[in-house]
Amino acid sequence: MKIGDQVMIPRTDGSQSPGEIIDIDPWDHKFARVKFVVGETFQGHPHPEKDHWRTAYKTVSLDELKPIEV
């Protein structure tokens, strides 16, 4: 996987959301910084409807990401 790849990102509540790899750890190449739209929940809790469109960022092991076929 590389920067710019579209992936499914694991969420705190156990679901997955589509997102994008924006950075890969330059030292060990095992972790990626990803961005995704928050949606209905954030950090496992309901999120206000007015903020569903906001972008969230998190660091995830590359092993946890699933590529999206485009």
Task: Record the pTM.
Answer: 0.83
Per the CB < 8 A criterion, the answer to whether 7 and 24 are in contact is no
Indicate whether 19 belongs to any domain.
yes
Q: Give the model confidence (pLDDT) of 11-36 as tens digits.
A: 887 888 999 999 999 998 999 999 99
Question: What whole-number distance in Å separates Cα of residue 69 and Cα of residue 65?
Answer: 13
Indicate whether 40 belongs to any domain.
yes
Q: Where are the alpha helices (DSSP H) in 4-68?
A: none
- 62 pLDDT tier (thresholds 50, 70, 90): very high
Residue-range definition of the domain harbouring residue 49? 6-67
Indicate whether 1 belongs to any domain.
no
Indicate whether 32 belongs to any domain.
yes
Number of domains in the chain: 1
Residue 40 DSSP code: T
pLDDT in the model for residue 67: 96
Q: Per-residue pLDDT for 44 more than 70?
A: no
Phi first, then psi: give them for residue 62, nearest 5 degrees. Answer: -60, -30
Q: Per-residue pLDDT for 53 more than 80?
A: no
